[in-house]
Amino acid sequence: MSNVSLTSTHAHREQIVSGRAQSQRERILECLKNSAVPLTRRQISELTRIPINAVCGRVNTLVASELVRVAYEDEDQGTGTSAQFLEPVRPQPVQRSFEWPQ
């Protein structure tokens, strides 16, 4: 394992153990819930003041856990590159059937 990947792995473990990763996930999820429109990772980073590298890791975890989804892909107006626009997954109400007693 190279020094870079070893340092990166160590930093990731430190984030998990300290609780910062959970706090960042919560802040990112709250940011998305409070937004009227889907946001890019860069926009989330700017709004939450969480470094972009941390935002990318936390968003990937949120997407994998199906709490966040990619709404669409388009050009990021800030960078001019292709970006994923993200939104929270909102639970869908389930219609229950009701039968009248006979």
> What's the rounded Cα separation, in Å, for the pair 5 and 50?
21
Q: Please, what is the average pLDDT of the chain?
A: 84
CATH number for the region 10-88 comes to 1.10.10.10
Single out the residue of 85, 40, 89 nearest to residue 62, CA to CA.
89
What is the reported pLDDT for 73?
Answer: 96
pTM, two decimal places: 0.71
The domain spans of the chain are 10-88
CA 71, 26, 53 angle in degrees (round to 5)? 70
pLDDT, one tens digit per residue, over 23-39 is 899 999 999 999 999 99
pLDDT at 82 over 90: yes
